């Protein structure tokens, strides 16, 4: 806790590990207020110490009836609280009636007030012990439930335990820490907030960041594999079309188109961040080029040179030059950022050389 933060009153009852305890000064105050209350707090303090010792012992050294000591403290507090409430309820009406008589008679009022105050102290003390006993029983039942939920698991997500209880995330963390402090899961149990888990034994699972990084890496690898399959399919399609079309000049143009496409694909595979720059190329230009080449292949396979077939083939042949130029420009565009970086590096290096006197200053030379 931050030293500048104001201390909560309940922090006075906390152990260094976060669990609560009954301090000796509170027992003394209890005896001063009501001997029965002090006696109840003393018994709870003794049982609390015994439970703490049992939690710190190895499992092999524990006795089967040790955990019952914590439950017996709750039972003792409940019994004493019930007795105190019974005594207060039984005697309080007489004390109130006596106080009324004293007020009416005009003497002995202080004695009447004292009797009523004592009975009220017994009543409040009894209610406090009843409440404390009930809270201790609830806490014990909750620890048993959490232990049953975790079972033999080496680790479990805090959110899963919160859903099973059910409880909010913050309360579940608090309950789990109490279970750890009481030794419910053994000496090696701890809360690992990196993986959002209760770790009972063994290594902690991967943290949220590691899980996210692995998921991203797997997704990127999957996309790269899918892209590679698609790229390979397109290149194979270009080669197959080229094999079916005779004519060295036109075949050379298809070879050039295939070479440019392969270089663009390789660049994207090595630099995935450049994929955004070729979206239109992939979605429109390349499919349209393949479509035109397939149409050329179909026309050429007819074996005749009619007017319509010859004109269509001529248009596609002329368009091939445009397609090659567009693919070259696409490849050149993808190196735009590298060109800017190179220019910036050269300019920075030249300025540094001028500052160190290794190059003539162009501004100084202008005035000479």
Residue 14: strand pairing partners: 20
Those residues whose C-beta lies under 8 Å from the C-beta of residue 64, and which sit 6 or more positions away, are: none
Interstrand relation of 155-157 and 190-192 (parallel, antiparallel or unpaired): unpaired
Mean pLDDT for 236-250 is 80
- CA nearest neighbour of 195 among 227, 158, 163, 245: 158
Dihedral, 129, 134, 139, 141 alpha carbons, nearest 10: 140
Nearest-5° Cα angle at 221, 216 to 226: 125
Could you give all domains of the chain from N- to C-terminal order, each with its CATH number?
9-150 (no CATH), 151-205 (1.10.10.10), 209-334 (no CATH), 340-368 (no CATH)
Distance between CA 92 and CA 117 in Å, rounded? 9
Is the pLDDT reported for residue 17 higher than 50?
A: no
Distance between CA 316 and CA 296 in Å, rounded? 7
Establish whether the linkage from the previous residue to 143 is cis, with ω within 30° of 0: no
Instruction: Identify the pLDDT of residue 65.
Output: 44
Mean pLDDT for 46-52 is 58
Instruction: Identify the pLDDT of residue 1.
Output: 43
pLDDT greater at residue 252 or residue 268: 252
**Tokens at residue 82, please?**
């019930």
Instruction: Identify the pLDDT of residue 145.
Output: 92
Position 349 confidence tier, pLDDT thresholds 50, 70, 90? confident
Distance between CA 89 and CA 324 in Å, rounded? 102
pLDDT greater at residue 359 or residue 106: 106
Instruction: Identify the pLDDT of residue 49.
Output: 54
- Average pLDDT in the chain: 76
Position 2 confidence tier, pLDDT thresholds 50, 70, 90? very low
pTM over 0.85: no
pLDDT tens readout for residues 124-150: 888 988 888 888 888 888 989 999 999
Is the pLDDT reported for residue 116 higher than 50?
A: yes
Quickly count: other Cβ atoms within 10 Å of residue 180's Cβ: 22
Kind plus residue range of the DSSP H or E element containing 62 = none
pLDDT greater at residue 23 or residue 255: 255
Query: For the purposes of burial, counting CB atoms within 10 Å of the CB of 26, is it exposed (0-12), middle (13-18) or buried (19 or more)?
Result: middle
Residue with tokens 């961040």: 273
Distance between CA 74 and CA 43 in Å, rounded? 10
Distance between CA 337 and CA 72 in Å, rounded? 75
Helix (H, G, I), strand (E, B) or coil at 191: strand
pLDDT tens readout for residues 263-292: 888 877 777 777 776 777 777 888 888 888
pLDDT tens readout for residues 59-92: 444 444 444 444 457 787 788 888 888 888 888 8
Mean pLDDT for 204-217 is 72
Helix (H, G, I), strand (E, B) or coil at 16: coil
Region of poorest pLDDT, from 4-13, 79-88, 219-228: 4-13
Those residues whose C-beta lies under 8 Å from the C-beta of residue 245, and which sit 6 or more positions away, are: 251, 254, 293, 296, 297, 300
Is the pLDDT reported for residue 228 higher than 50?
A: yes
List, edge to edge, every strand of the sheet that includes 197-199. 155-157, 197-199, 190-192
pLDDT tens readout for residues 150-190: 988 888 888 889 999 888 988 998 888 888 888 888 888 88
Q: What is the DSSP string of 199-259?
A: E-SS-----HHHHHHHHHHHHHHHHHHHHHHHHHHHHHHHHHHHHH---HHHHHHHHHHHH
């Amino acid at each position: 806790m931050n030293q500048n933060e104001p201390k909560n009153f309940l922090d006075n009852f906390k152990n260094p590990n976060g669990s609560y305890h009954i301090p000796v000064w509170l027992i003394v105050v209890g005896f001063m207020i009501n001997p029965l209350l002090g006696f109840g707090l003393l018994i709870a303090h003794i049982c609390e110490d015994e439970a703490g010792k049992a939690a710190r012992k190895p499992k092999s050294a524990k006795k089967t009836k040790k955990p019952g000591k914590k439950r017996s403290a709750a039972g003792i507090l409940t019994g004493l609280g019930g007795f105190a409430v019974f005594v207060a309820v039984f005697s309080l009406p007489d004390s109130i009636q006596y106080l009324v008589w004293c007020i009416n008679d005009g003497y002995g009022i202080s004695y009447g007030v004292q009797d009523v105050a004592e009975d009220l102290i017994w009543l409040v003390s009894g209610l406090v012990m009843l409440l404390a006993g009930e809270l201790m029983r609830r806490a014990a039942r909750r620890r048993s439930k959490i232990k049953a939920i975790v079972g033999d698991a080496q680790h479990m997500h805090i959110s899963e335990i919160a859903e099973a209880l059910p409880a909010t995330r913050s309360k579940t963390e608090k309950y789990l820490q109490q279970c750890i402090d009481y030794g419910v899961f053994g000496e090696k149990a701890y809360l690992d907030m990196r993986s959002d888990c209760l770790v009972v034994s063994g290594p902690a699972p991967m943290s949220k960041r590691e899980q996210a990084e692995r998921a991203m890496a797997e997704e990127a690898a999957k996309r790269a594999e899918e892209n590679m399959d698609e790229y390979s399919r397109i290149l194979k399609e270009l080669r197959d079309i080229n094999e079916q079309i005779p004519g060295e000049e036109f075949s050379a143009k298809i070879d050039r188109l295939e070479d440019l496409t392969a270089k663009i694909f390789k660049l994207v595979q090595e630099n995935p961040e450049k994929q955004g720059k070729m979206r239109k190329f992939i979605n429109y230009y390349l499919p349209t080029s393949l479509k035109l080449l397939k149409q050329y292949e179909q026309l050429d396979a007819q074996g005749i040179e009619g007017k319509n077939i010859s004109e269509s083939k001529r248009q596609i042949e002329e368009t091939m030059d445009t397609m090659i130029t567009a693919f070259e420009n696409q490849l050149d565009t993808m190196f735009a950022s590298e060109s800017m970086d190179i220019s910036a590096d050269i300019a920075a290096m030249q300025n540094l050389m001028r500052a160190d006197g290794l190059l003539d200053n162009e501004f100084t030379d202008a005035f000479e």
